[in-house]
Amino acid sequence: MLLSFASPYFLTSTNLFDVLRQSTFVLIIALGSTFVIMTGGIDLSVGAILGLSAGVTSVILLQTGGSTVLGVTGGLLAGMLCGLVNGLLITRLRVTDFISTLATLSVFRGILYMMTDGVPFAKFSNPTFSFLGRGMVGPVPFPVIITVFLFLLLSYLLNQMPFGRHVLATGSNREAARLSGVQTDRIKLGVYVISGACCAIAGILLGSRLSSVPPDLGQGYELSAIAAVVIGGTALSGGRGSVSGTVLGAIMIAMISNGLILLNVDPFYQFVVNGVLIVVAVAVNRSRQS
């Protein structure tokens, strides 16, 4: 509301669609991260998975003469494989979520740097692939439609399927859930694969929109995704949260960022704002629980 008074351009339809388009990439990652955090875990490698998946997609497009189907399939599988690696490190080697994903962040990012030799991939796009990130269906950007579909799918998975109840049970008390028959290791594997798939989708859409994959693509998205999840009401300790809350959190962050740009505020202040928002959201959640 304050931003609408501060800038006359904030509530225009064009600007609001820009906000939705800008929020889609972080939101898609955050939707996957919501499941991870609801189990009491954390995924610090989401930005690196996004970049690596986009890199794999671009390589396949270059080597197959622009096959969008093969490129998208390869990128999606790469993201899911990265998520599976995270899950196996946590459930098989019993390395904590924080350390595992901190390590794979470096590994996945390093692989992308080796693939690109530090030079962005380019000239891989074609009209079909470009439509994924830039296309419009009427007045609605195509990435927004993909995001809505993912939201509905993950909402159904969380609220209507046993998997969703097991995710919350694992986050509430993993040992109690295991003793009651929940296969907690499989749940942990599942949420990290979901997170990897969401990162891959975001990476494919972002690569399509930019028509380029720099080696640092997705860097810094970890903070924004975690901020969206926490602001949306998901407890960092696990056991509580919703994908609808994450959507609101991601849109809130995008609106604040957009408002700062319209007010000609240095965009680097957004990092400060995200950090403050996380602290405030966690403090509010703690006060509600006490």
State pLDDT tens for residues 81-103.
Answer: 999 999 999 999 999 999 999 99
CA distance 130 to 141: 12
Q: Are 239 and 38 in contact (CB under 8 A)?
A: yes
Domain of residue 284: give its range: 13-289
Domain count across the chain: 1
The pTM assigned to this predicted structure is 0.90
Report which secondary-structure segment, H or E, holds 204: helix 184-210
What confidence score (pLDDT) does residue 6 get? 47
In a domain, 2, yes or no: no
Does 261 map to a domain? yes
Mean pLDDT of residues grouped by 10 in the chain (290 residues)? 48 62 88 96 96 96 91 97 97 95 96 91 88 88 92 95 95 91 95 97 94 91 88 87 90 76 70 76 68
Domain assignment present for 4: no
CB 21, CB 32: distance < 8 Å: no
Q: Is the dihedral of CA 119, 121, 123, 127 positive or negative?
A: negative
Cα-trace Rg, the chain: 19
The reply to whether 5 falls in a domain is no
235, two tokens: 């407890």
Look at residue 3 and tell me if it is in a domain.
Answer: no
* Residue 281 in domain: yes
- Asked if the structure places residue 45 within a domain, the reply is yes
Judge whether 8 lies within some domain.
no
Q: Output the pLDDT for position 165.
A: 94
Q: Collapse the DSSP code of 6 into the 3-class scheme (helix H, G, I; strand E, B; otherwise coil) and give the result.
A: helix
- CATH code of residue 227: 1.10.3470
In DSSP terms, which residues pair with 122 in a beta bridge? 212
